[in-house]
Amino acid sequence: MSGTSLTRELIQRAPKVVLHEHLDGGLRPTTVLELAREINYKGLPTSDPDELAEWFIADAPGSDLVRYLEGFSHTTAVMQARDQLERVASESALDLARDGVVYAEIRFAPELHTGRGLSLDEIVMAVLNGLEHGTEQAAVEGHRIVVRAILSAMRQNSRSEEIARLAVSFRDAGVCGFDIAGPEDGFPPTEHLSAFHLIQRENFHMTIHAGEAFGLPSIWEAVQFCDAERLGHGVRIADDITRVGDRYELGRLASYIRDRRIPLEVCPTSNVHTGAASSIATHPIDLLRKLRFRVTLNTDNRLMSGITMSSEFEACANAFGWTLEDMEWLTLNAAKSSFLHFDQRLEMINTVIKPSYAALREA
């Protein structure tokens, strides 16, 4: 697709939408250190903020999902009290807004934050209060952002139905959907059917982590048994695409995903760090874009990958020659795929995203 070349300045000024961002994967390194000192947490590998930021990034040769997940034991350790959760959530919303994100869905697993006696309701309220405060701070600075929360259940545990009920109970307070996260291999989504059926009966929204560490079977189960509206990552759908000469043939599952316009919450740098892709240059996101899947670009965990939405767009632009038009297409995909109500999505698209991109093209 030809069009306006993407520069760093254009990327930073362009509005962005993120659908796959983990709260406990987006902390500021300085915040981790300060919270650790407050609670006398001694588990951090270093007390230097720059060294800590580098340590969290699991990009050394041989890194995989296990190494990538190691950092979460430290971030969740400093997210066990109400004020800690509020601070992290507030800073997350503000940092995204400063990066030009106009809409974000930030997910977290309440069951991981009960270590100091908080109830699940108290945990969710603390995060929602923090997101609201961060949004207000962003507005004072001149940044417009809308932030919603997604509640994740851990697939290796047995609390998914409880978390699903929790998500529904906060649907009018800022929670927009339900998710399951955690290790895919050995913990199929079909083990949580009661939770997904509850979400369906309540006319609520769901996304499922699938097609990252595990392959096509996890995507198939998420879609055909659990009726996932979106796929968290979903990058392994490329395994069902075959190149034949100068064209590509889609298998039945890939065709179904594309035909149904099921959104893929793709996180390229994170996929490289977890071993789901060997490099940005060989990542299938550009192929999926060219084949017109409903692709969206996301951060996953800004701390663990050392990225922002802007840097992620820049890396892909450098690798694939993306233009401003490509960036707008991906951003509109994300806006259309959000769990906002339809009229709110239209308003965001027609009053924020499209006018902003039109102005950038004319500048």
Residues noted as catalytic: 212
Pairing, β 241-244 against β 247-250: antiparallel
Question: Bridge partners of 154?
Answer: 181
Residue 131: both structure tokens together: 């997101």
Please name which of 132, 21, 37, 124 lies closest in space to residue 77, comparing C-alpha atoms.
37
Please name which of 234, 214, 165, 239 lies closest in space to residue 65, comparing C-alpha atoms.
214
Residue 19: count of CB within 10 angstroms of its CB = 30
Residues found in the chain: 363
Give the separation between CA 168 and CA 203, rounded to whole angstroms: 9
Give the separation between CA 33 and CA 31, rounded to whole angstroms: 5
Q: Within a 13 Å sphere around the CA of 348, how many CA atoms are in the beta-carbon half?
A: 26
Give CA 95 to chain center in angstroms: 15
**CA atoms 125, 265, 104, 50: torsion sign:** positive
